[in-house]
Amino acid sequence: MFDLAVSLTSLKDWLKEHLPTPVSGQVEPYVAASLALSSYRDIANSGKHGVIRKYLPKTNEVAASAIAVIDAALTAEHFTQHPQPGSAPWRLKIVRVDQSRHRAIDLGQVAIREWRAFMSLHGMAI
């Protein structure tokens, strides 16, 4: 998840440097308005710098949450057999400052779609 966050944030920085000035000025507001992109920006910056000082983060924490009661037998069974994709007995959640909780994988997919839409809107081949 951290690698995805850094990649999404690096793309933001690259776009700001390589798009024409009127469009490059739209990058930061676009990220700030996006729940997904701003969450991954916060994750990248807090992971790289420890403390975010240049802006007020919108993400509070990343946590693992259990989706079922897990005992040792279930955990052992899960790792010794071939489970279906996405069937892990836990999920990574991104918790925002407003206490809303979001599946990290869902926000990652949204963030990728949002960057594709932004680049397509501004004539960049995807």
Residue 91 CB neighbours (<10 A): 16
Specify whether the CB–CB gap between 37 and 27 falls below 8 A.
no
Statement: residue 6 has pLDDT above 80: yes
Q: Which residues are registered as beta bridge partners of 62?
A: 94
Look up the pTM and report it. 0.79
Q: Which residues are registered as beta bridge partners of 101?
A: 95
What confidence score (pLDDT) does residue 124 get?
84
One-character DSSP codes across 104-126: HHHHHHHHHHHHHHHHHHTT---
What confidence score (pLDDT) does residue 73 get?
46
What confidence score (pLDDT) does residue 48 get?
87
| Averaged pLDDT, 49-53 | 87
Summarize pLDDT for 57-101 with one digit per residue, the tens. 999 998 877 655 444 445 555 555 565 665 555 678 999 999 999
Q: Grade residue 107 by pLDDT with cuts at 50, 70 and 90.
A: very high
Summarize pLDDT for 16-47 with one digit per residue, the tens. 998 888 999 999 999 999 999 999 999 999 98
What confidence score (pLDDT) does residue 78 get?
53
